[in-house]
Amino acid sequence: MTSRKTNLFVNLITSGKEFDPRDPSAMDGRIRYIMLNTLIILGGSLLFLFGYQSLQAGAGIQAAFDIAMGLTTLVGFFLLRSSAPFIISGFLTVVPYMFLCGFLTFGGGVQGSGVLWAFSFPIIAVFVLGMQWGSMLAGLLGVFLGVTVLLPGLAQMDFQTGFALRAIGVYLLIFASTIVYERTKMNKDIQLAALNRRLQVERDEITAMKDNLKDGIFLINEEYQIQPNYSPSAARILDVPDLSGMSLPGLLTSSLKDKELQSVQDYFDMVRQRSFDEEMLLDINPLHEFTYQPTHGGEPRILACSFAPVDREDGQVQILCLIKDQTREVELTRQLSEEEAKRQEEMQSLFEVIHVDPRVFDDFIQDTDYELEQINQILKDSRTQTQAAMVQTFQGVHAIKSNAVILGLQNFGQKLHTIEQDIANLRENPDITFQDTLRVTLQLEDIYRSLDVFKTLIGKIRSFKSGEIHLQGEHVLIKTLEKVAEKAASAQGKQVRLEIDALEPHILEDLPRRELKEILVQLVRNAVYHGIEPPDQRSSSGKPGQGTIRLSITRTDDHGIITLEDDGRGLNLESIRQKALSLGLLRDSDGPHTPSSLFKLLFSPGFSTAGQADLHAGRGVGLSLVRDRLKSVQGRVKIQQEEHRGTRFCLHIPLLVQEQTREDTA
């Protein structure tokens, strides 16, 4: 009830208008309204009262004037409640009041006290109408008052000169004071408005920053509650529509264990206490990266938070929290490291694959595909008892593993070995669960993946320009032979260099590469050991100290022609004969020997003319190995030599192309 009354009263004196309590100028306006309404209510009532008294006393004009003035203020009262400008009602009140003051001054009153009313006018006029109109009306009343009290016979009573001067003095004093006061207040208002504008701009800037920040930002108080001015991103990241007043630890209940939550609160207290050094606090921040599970369910996400103490003006130390959503970054990092691991595996596999002849590798892949297909059938076939299925699966995996190990695919072999062990354990297990079978299936998936890696690698190797890769192959071959020559020469204290006279491009594509390499390695060693003389010997027979081995690889339509010659001592037919006799490869009775039949003996197993055996040559396997390899590729060899001038081996090896086409037509 009382509140209703109060409300009615407030409504009356504020004209039922709303004023923003946070805006000082609006509150100024509210005071003006209250003042004006008070004036209207009191002044208006007075005017009607005077009017009524005048009517009683029979002063008609006086009564009419009073009531008209009263009505005018009443109009002002209603106008004030409408949307009309304040100043209109202000005039409608202040002007009648001016006339009232003038009239009371003019009338004199008890002991000339009518003048006293006028003293309040400057304050009211300036306050209600503002500086310009207020001082003008107050000036007018002042002039009227001065004239009235100074000029005898003008007013209804005679004022003494002393009184008149005092009245004018006091009026002027009040008038001046009001103007000074209002002026000061106006300056203040101007300053305040400027300050407000600046603050507003700053606040807008900060708000704009906060609202457009990608990361969440907010303050928590000493009870860990989130303060109202949080950034919209914070609500988005934490997946809560309104964070205001929420407890931060409360939001983490689905994400952390109770003990961890306790630690988080302890950590917040440490941040607030400021007794720990910042670096340490950064280091032990329990929320520097954690998986956040919104309490109402929803997608879990990975968040990173950081905290800093902030002093508030009420003496509270709050914590500024910065929250980042790291889900994407962490996911990317994971993907990158997975990619990296895959790359590594590919590289590793590439190194392993490169050593395997592609044709052999094709066979391996076909076999593996076949085995995997078998295993898949077994695992799919529900009629096979699980244990029996595991036995068969084991055999399949083992077969693949054996092949991989033979080809030197370490990584792949290792992988298969692990799976094999796993299946071996299952084999012993009488009751295999569906889970076990599923696990084996997943492991097989992994094998498929590795196999795909191999397939793409083989594809890549093939898709190289054949020229390039084989030029590389030729390059490797020559490097190998140079190394062999160098090693053998340094073991023997000789000086040798390898010269390439001719090298048909792409020739190695069409020749049995591995066999050719072995043959050439043997022949180069042979040349260094048996052909090239020690430097001093060479010098005394007028040769350069460094011996030369020359290699050429060319082709005819269907053969590769490989020539390897040295500028050494040549073959000593006599010593070959002696050696052959001592080894029982020849009998004296065999009569004279042609050079070529003696040369044939060189290729017998166990024949070596070198004095001693070492790692590189002289075990008597050199030329016999050459013979075997040549046989396997259907090649021929011829030896030409000139004593003291050197030896030349000339090989003919059929090209593989014919073989390929033969295979293709078969």
Partner 1 sequence: MGAKTVLVVDDSRIMRNIVKNTFLSMNIPCEFIEASTGKEALVRLDNNAIDLVLLDWNMPELSGLDFLKQARSNPLHKDLPIIMITSEAARYNVIEALKNGATDYIIKPVNEKTFQQKLAKLHLK
**Interface ranges with partner 1 (CB under 8 A):** 259-260, 263, 266-267, 269-270, 276-277, 280, 284-286
For residue 34, what is the enclosing H or E element? helix 24-57
Closest separation between CB of residue 292 and partner 1, Å? 16
Question: What gap in Å lies between CA 460 and CA 163, rounded to an integer?
Answer: 120
Phi first, then psi, for residue 556 (nearest 5°) are -110, -165
Closest separation between CB of residue 328 and partner 1, Å? 24
Phi first, then psi, for residue 330 (nearest 5°) are -65, -40
Cβ proximity of 623 and 609 under 8 Å: no
One-letter-per-residue 3-state SS of 373-435: HHHHHHHHCCCCCHHHHHHHHHHHHHHHHHHHHHCCCHHHHHHHHHHHHHHHHHHCCCCCCHH
Cβ proximity of 614 and 491 under 8 Å: yes
Closest separation between CB of residue 263 and partner 1, Å? 4
In terms of CB distance, is 276 or 351 closer to partner 1? Answer: 276
Question: What gap in Å lies between CA 637 and CA 635, rounded to an integer?
Answer: 7
In terms of CB distance, is 264 or 440 closer to partner 1? Answer: 264
In terms of CB distance, is 33 or 267 closer to partner 1? Answer: 267
In terms of CB distance, is 253 or 658 closer to partner 1? Answer: 253
Closest separation between CB of residue 277 and partner 1, Å? 7
Question: What gap in Å lies between CA 104 and CA 416, rounded to an integer?
Answer: 118
What is the full DSSP assignment across 510-558? Answer: GS-HHHHHHHHHHHHHHIIIIISPPHHHHHHTT--SSEEEEEEEEE-SS
Closest separation between CB of residue 257 and partner 1, Å? 9
Closest separation between CB of residue 483 and partner 1, Å? 44
Closest separation between CB of residue 288 and partner 1, Å? 8
Q: What does the block give as tokens for 598?
A: 């003696």
In terms of CB distance, is 73 or 285 closer to partner 1? Answer: 285
Closest separation between CB of residue 253 and partner 1, Å? 16
Terminal Cα-to-Cα distance of the chain (whole angstroms): 114
Residue 306: C-alpha distances to residues 210, 212, 286, 467 (Å): 16, 19, 10, 59
Cβ proximity of 412 and 388 under 8 Å: no
Closest separation between CB of residue 272 and partner 1, Å? 13
In terms of CB distance, is 271 or 511 closer to partner 1? Answer: 271
At what angle are helices 24-57 and 86-107 packed, to 10 degrees?
A: 40
In terms of CB distance, is 4 or 259 closer to partner 1? Answer: 259
Q: What does the block give as tokens for 10?
A: 């407030």
In terms of CB distance, is 292 or 599 closer to partner 1? Answer: 292
Question: What gap in Å lies between CA 546 and CA 568, rounded to an integer?
Answer: 10
In terms of CB distance, is 127 or 267 closer to partner 1? Answer: 267
In terms of CB distance, is 265 or 443 closer to partner 1? Answer: 265
Closest separation between CB of residue 309 and partner 1, Å? 16
Burial (CB count within 10 angstroms: exposed 0-12, middle 13-18, buried 19+), residue 546: middle
Cβ proximity of 272 and 282 under 8 Å: no
In terms of CB distance, is 244 or 262 closer to partner 1? Answer: 262
Select from 465, 467, 447 the least CA-distant residue to 455.
447
In terms of CB distance, is 190 or 284 closer to partner 1? Answer: 284
Residues 6+ away with beta carbon under 8 Å from 338: none
Question: What gap in Å lies between CA 643 and CA 572, rounded to an integer?
Answer: 7
Determine how many CB atoms are found less than 10 A away from the CB of residue 314: 6
In terms of CB distance, is 265 or 441 closer to partner 1? Answer: 265
Closest separation between CB of residue 409 and partner 1, Å? 36
Cβ proximity of 38 and 93 under 8 Å: no
The beta-carbon contacts of 591-598 under 8 Å, at least 24 apart in sequence, are: 595/641, 596/639, 598/573
Phi first, then psi, for residue 300 (nearest 5°) are -70, 150
Closest separation between CB of residue 240 and partner 1, Å? 25
| Residue 234 amino acid letter | A
| Torsion angle defined by CA atoms of residues 137, 139, 140 and 143, in that order, rounded to the nearest 10 degrees | 160
Residues 6+ away with beta carbon under 8 Å from 235: 216, 241, 242, 243
Closest separation between CB of residue 254 and partner 1, Å? 17
In terms of CB distance, is 277 or 557 closer to partner 1? Answer: 277
In terms of CB distance, is 91 or 267 closer to partner 1? Answer: 267
Closest separation between CB of residue 323 and partner 1, Å? 18
Closest separation between CB of residue 278 and partner 1, Å? 12
